[in-house]
Amino acid sequence: MTFDANASSAGIARRRFLAVSAAAGLGGTLFPGALLALATQPIATSSGVSGAAPAADAQPDLRGWPPITPEMIDAAAAIAAIKLTDEQKQMMLEGLVGQRNSALRVRTLHLANSVAPTSVFNPLPAGTPATHSAGSMPVRLGPAPNTSTLSVSALVSQEETVAFATVRELGEALRLRKLTSVALTKMYLARLKRYDPALHFVITLTEERAIAQAEQADREIAAGKYRGPLHGIPWGAKDLLAVKGYPTTWGAAGFEQQHFDEDAEVVKRLDAAGAILVAKLSMGALAQGDLWFGGRTRNPWNLRQGSSGSSAGSASAVGAGCVGFAIGTETLGSISSPSTRCGATGLRPSFGLVPRTGAMALSWSMDKIGPIARSVEDCALVLNAIYGPDDHDRSVQPAPFHVDLTLDVRRLRVGYLKSAFEAPVFQPLSAEETSKLSAAERASREQTHRAEFDRRVYDAKFEAATLDHLRAMGVALTPVELPGFHFSALLSVLSAEGAAAFDELTLSGRDRLLTGQKPYDWPNEFRTARFIPAVDYIQAQRARSVAITAMHELFLGVDVIVTPSGGSQLTATNLCGQPAVIVPNGLRGDDAPPFSAGIDEWPDYGGPGTPVSITFLAPLYGEAKACALAAAYQQKTGFHRLHPKIG
């Protein structure tokens, strides 16, 4: 190897250039002349003030920040779980000043929530051929429904029958002109107004828009211009979908008057399908839980219990028979949990199947949009209208959704998570858990622990019955297990992306306006997430690649996996992108352990007369087969036909 003195000098200059730029925190925005001038100046001191001439764009305020000291590095190193020598800490000081200055400069951009990172999450493992759609195909449905009880007169005499009819049934009645969209829309608007004081599920009614759409739908249907099974069907949107002319509040105090000038892509697609938007429904503040600035959305089966969330109003309104269907979103359980609680059917599609353009971002690599309705068939019809790439959301794959609900499900390869269906075994509290408690506190903790176990034992009966029903349908079941992977250790991805999505909220202090201010609420979560090192975030994403491969291998041998709706599968599939269909699985009887909210604001257990659910998982972009099995299961059991009696 020959040594080039000129090349060596250039390399030294280049390194010096990068060091100066990093320390100043300005390199990427300065003109070349300014950069050359900086290269001849001393590197900025640890005071955090670069002394560089201001660039033409907005300048960060570098004043007021204390010098970075070795003691600060010690504290930060403890948080980041790294060990440093004194020499290493001294060497880091200048670079840390540059990192802080760069971060301050980025903050001057005031990035909107709609600005996505340049990196795009792809849940397909390396080497897996992408599945491409062969073009849009209609959902292959089962037999035509009976619409004999659905008519305009029934809206008065048998309102409950109409209100809880499926989308398929309502759509057929509209097509046959037994019902009108205007009459149906007015009925659902009236029910939303009637039950909202008890359920707190409406943020904004879109009444004027809805009536105009319904009138147009009736004219088109009368003229023979039928757009399909969603034509004339009233629906509700989780209030993170932008709708022009109406507030989009994200359920959060401080955002009550937020407006956007364009409809979300999903709203546009449902408009094109002829569906009628009647309301923007409640969501937990910034997509957390069921608590929003207007109160806590309630479970229509138990008004003392929250609906769960964050698709709180979507599931509650469907469960209460106040919309034909709704749109929800899920990052980590936000379709699954409220659908379970409210007795609705939810379809969380694969990551990257439905465009999120015009929807609030919480986690760019985990957010998913999907339908909540009364049946799997309804969910399939809605998903068929909203899936597929657009021109903006770069995460969306050109994957197919060709669902056949007439499929002989006995031909499917069906697995079940064996350990999740095993009878619970009581584990007493350990001495470590109780050693520092008083006798009274210990007794109370043990009583609560026993009550939680009794509830698990009771609900396990429903889960075991699921397998019996499937076997009776002729479905062969193969035991499987999730990969032995610490999926929950990767949730720093969600924390970091959520904190970035709402960075301005944290930095401005406006997070204090949010209704929830407990340690588990977003304000504290976002503040805490700012201490996740960038290296650890990237390491979590790399570990996620390993998890994705492991989950992909699990699904190589099965078309569908049956599982209880909670547990570690919920974390695993949300991180790795697999779809889920959540269906009602019966009602707890009068012998069920009692409901007790206690001090828990989100009690998971609703007590006697409340619904349970079961979940059908599928490989990436394989939701069609999960829909086929779940729909057949619903036809076998009829649990989706149950509905609450609201006072």
Task: List the catalytic residues.
Answer: 238, 310, 334
SS3 504: helix
Nearest to residue 584, comparing CAs of 422, 317, 285, 376?
Answer: 376
Nearest to residue 292, comparing CAs of 274, 277, 310?
Answer: 310
Compute the residue count for the chain. 647
d(CA 192, CA 134): 40
DSSP for residue 404 = B
DSSP for residue 298 = E
d(CA 536, CA 524): 20
Alpha carbon 454 to chain centroid, angstroms? 30
The gap between the terminal CA atoms of the chain, to the nearest Å, is 86
Residue 621's CB is within 10 A of a number of other CB atoms, namely 26
462 to 108, 459, 612: CA distances (angstroms)? 54, 6, 8
* Residue 581 phi, psi (nearest 5): -120, 120
Element (H, E) at 314: helix 312-319
Residues 270, 228 contacting (CB under 8 angstroms): no
Round the CA-based radius of gyration of the chain to a whole number and report it. 27
Element (H, E) at 642: none
Beta strands in 604-644 (DSSP E): 611-617
